[in-house]
Amino acid sequence: MPGTTPAARFVGEFDRWSQQDVSPKLRLSPTFEPRYQIWYPHAVGKNPAAVPADAATPARGTDLRSRTRRALQAEITAVAFDLFDRQGFEATTINQIAAEAGLSRSSFFRYFATKEDVVLLGVEERGLVLRDALAGRPADETPWQALRQALNAIIESNTENPERTLRLSRMMVDTPSLQGRQMQRQNSWQRLLAPELARRLGIPPTDSSDPRPRALASAALGCYDAAHTVWRDSDGTADLTALLGQAMSVLTD
């Protein structure tokens, strides 16, 4: 377009992209804020030694695109949870979620690969934040102490929206297909935590024969799950931080 600056052309292209294939229910306005917050990772202090000095910074355009996508995913999640509350997870279909959100079925799959992903959105990202939180703990902490403090990152995410966390936890218990995905999460988080734990234990990165890093990760996550179960059974009234402290201390006292 003659007379238009590159910056203006970029903004125009981004605006057109953010509106494409999106129903009026989900179309973004200049003051748009998701009505139903889902959890996404935020910056966590990292161990400088674990971050290359020349690590690339994400491009601004990529960040804007991701934020728009996440906002739309949050809106679809809100619609889906409303249906889950009324009908149950198993009885709710992808077609119903898409129709309620004003999307076609094919458009739904641009944001979620499966119905389970609507519930578990952010689980893998939480694992990454937990890994980074562990890497950012002081070097003089023992691996177990570092794990305990790193898990605060997950507890903090729960307190951002405790009602949703409680609903999600109950749904996980009541739904067999989600229980299987929860087991996958446990294994993936162990793999993410093991390298940093191995470094703290003085185990060479190439040594995969030592079970201690995975054992520590598994034990800490098991303590978290035990604490979270008690918190869920209390209808979210118990202090999850205190429960986690009790669960982890019983293995060291």
Given pLDDT bands bounded at 50, 70 and 90, which one contains residue 77? confident
Q: Residue 122: what pLDDT? A: 66
| Any domain includes 56 | no
Give 149's pLDDT tier (boundaries 50, 70, 90): very high
Report if residue 70 sits inside a domain. Answer: yes
Report residue 140's pLDDT band, with 50, 70 and 90 as the boundaries. Answer: very high
What is the percent of the chain where pLDDT is above 90? 43
Phi, psi (rounded to 5 degrees) for 114:
-145, 170
Check whether residue 144 and residue 214 sit in a common domain.
yes
Q: Do residue 144 and residue 188 come from a single domain? A: yes
Tens digit of each residue's pLDDT (9 = 90 or more) over 45-57: 444 444 333 333 3
Higher pLDDT, 29 or 125: 125
What's the CATH number where 79 sits?
A: 1.10.10.60
CA pair distance 165, 167, nearest whole angstrom: 5
Q: Minimal CA–CA distance to 198: which of 152, 143, 138? A: 143
Asked if 26 contacts 99 with a C-beta cutoff of 8 angstroms, the reply is: no
Give this prediction's pTM.
Answer: 0.68
CA distance 224 to 244: 6
Say if 13 falls within a structural domain: no
Domain boundary (115, 131, 148) is at 115
87 falls within a domain: yes
Structure-token pair, residue 112: 């979620």
Say how far apart CA 108 and CA 101 lie, in whole Å. 9
Clarify whether residues 78 and 129 are in a common domain. Answer: no
Whether residue 182 is found in the same domain as residue 66: no
Nearest CA to 127 out of 34, 206, 36, 189 is that of 189
Q: Do residues 73 and 176 share a domain?
A: no
Domain assignment present for residue 14? The answer is no
Q: Is the pLDDT of residue 129 over 80?
A: yes
**111, 38 in Cβ contact below 8 A?**
no
Range with lowest mean pLDDT among 13-27, 31-45, 56-70, 71-85:
31-45
**102 and 149 housed in the same domain:** no
| Residue 62 confidence class, pLDDT cut points 50, 70, 90 | low
| Residues 245 and 167 reside in one and the same domain | yes
106 and 134 both lie in a single domain: no
User: How many Cβ atoms are within 10 Å of 180's Cβ, its own excluded?
Assistant: 11
Domain count, the chain: 2
Instruction: Give domain status of residue 238, yes or no.
Output: yes
Q: What would you report as the CA-atom Rg of the chain, rounded to the nearest whole angstrom?
A: 21
Same domain, 212 and 153: yes
d(CA 85, CA 169): 13
Kindly write down the DSSP assignment for every residue of 192-228, as one continuous string.
HHHHHHHHHHT--TT-----HHHHHHHHHHHHHHHHH
Give the CATH number of the domain where residue 216 resides. Answer: 1.10.357.10
178 and 238 fall within a common domain: yes
Give CA–CA dist 152/167, Å, rounded: 20
150 occurs within a structural domain: yes
- Cα gap 43→133, rounded to integer Å: 9
Residues 87 and 193 in one domain: no
Q: Provide the domain limits for residue 83.
A: 62-115
**Are 135 and 100 in a shared domain?**
no
